[in-house]
Amino acid sequence: MNSSTTTSGLTFDVRLSAQRKTPQERAQLLDNPGFGTVFTDHMVAIDYTEGEGWYDARLEPYGPLTLDPATAALHYAQEIFEGLKAYRHPTGEAACFRPDANAARLNRSARRMAMPELPEELFLGAIETLLQHDSEWIPTQPNSSLYLRPFMFATDVGLGVNHPSRSYRFVLIASPSGPYFSGGIKPVTVWLSEDYTRAAPGGTGQAKFAGNYAASFVAQSQAVEQGCDQVVWLDAKEHRWVEEMGGMNLFFVFGSGDDARLLTPPLTGTLLPGITRDSLLSLGPELGFPTEESPISTEEWRRAARSGELTEVFACGTAAVITPVGHVKSKDGEFTIGDGGAGPVTMGLREELVALQYGTRPDTHGWVRIFD
């Protein structure tokens, strides 16, 4: 056993895999990795017990977790996660985009689910440790990156449900990934979900909580049955106010050219506060687009699309970055945004964001963190 000290002085035990892929095997896997199906040689894990805090931070071979069948997370779904990417910059360095924001959001999710917070140094130390050993897994093809998936789950054994678990595990795994939606930047068709809701006031919608996804699959299947790619979530009370698209936030572009302006629904407590969304709220005005957080109803969406005031709509999130929305379907019929293609404001914002993430534009915001 070895140990690895991160730049913050934290020590992670290093238990190297005896079955690391050879450079040839790795190259083959990196050739066309898809999304979220190939994993690196190692993972990081850290345990927590009430009273003791976090302990046993380690890098270990990637592999199955052995869990007692009565493990709390399997019964009562105390599980939260994050998603971010490591990019290979032209300098050769490995970098992440706003990982401190992911650390902060993990802890907001933890508080909502009565789980312990993970100190930011441990979150960043876990990424640093994994990248120290597995950074050769960062793909270098355009629009490819190493997707990082930190998650935390309840490990108490027992079926009692009167209190939250007293022990937890944090795990970080990494998956070399190509573009999230295969086939390039193709506009998606969305289904306005009036039968199901993702989140209600007082619920868990603003936490990156596994159960939110479990509850969403049936609506996503309904969208697919309607010939759509993605579901759009409306508010739980009136089924009228637009919230999100699948696992991404939405932006609406009104006007065009120098008069274009951006609108995104406000964080009412039922939306997931996306880091991509937050970044675009800064980048929009910098590129000359006034940007506001305001509610938008489905009637307004339809009306403004028909009148031509609404010129573009796109969804944003770490995995797929920015995806144009071309067509909208609902029980009341369907309509098209602009000419149904990817618009210039959408593509301009995408290019700017991607350039910052991949290190081809100077980082004037302090958003980029270099790991090696």
Residues that bind ligand PLP (CB under 6 A): 83, 208, 244, 247-249, 272, 274-277, 317-318
Q: How far apart are CA 348 and CA 289, in angstroms?
A: 11
Q: How far apart are CA 44 and CA 40, in angstroms?
A: 11
197/276 with CB nearer ligand PLP:
276
Give min distance, CB of 318 to ligand PLP, in A.
3
Three-state DSSP class for 311?
A: strand
Residue type, 126: A
Residues 6+ apart with CB under 8 A from 89: 95, 358, 359, 370
133/208 with CB nearer ligand PLP:
208
Give min distance, CB of 124 to ligand PLP, in A.
16
Q: What is the DSSP letter of 27?
A: H
Give min distance, CB of 250 to ligand PLP, in A.
9
16/101 with CB nearer ligand PLP:
101
Provide the β-strand partners of residue 38.
none
Q: Which helix (H) or strand (E) holds 13?
A: strand 11-14
Q: What is the DSSP letter of 165?
A: -
83/295 with CB nearer ligand PLP:
83
Give min distance, CB of 211 to ligand PLP, in A.
12
Q: How far apart are CA 371 and CA 63, in angstroms?
A: 24
What is the DSSP track for 107-144? Answer: HHHHHHTT-----HHHHHHHHHHHHHHHGGGS--STT-
Give min distance, CB of 209 to ligand PLP, in A.
9
CB atoms within 10 A of CB 132: 18
Give min distance, CB of 85 to ligand PLP, in A.
9
What Å distances lie between residue 157 and 72, 257, 341, 343, CA to CA? 6, 59, 52, 52
249/311 with CB nearer ligand PLP:
249
Give min distance, CB of 247 to ligand PLP, in A.
4
In residues, how long is the chain? 372
135/249 with CB nearer ligand PLP:
249
236/275 with CB nearer ligand PLP:
275
Contact 355, 361 (CB under 8 A): yes
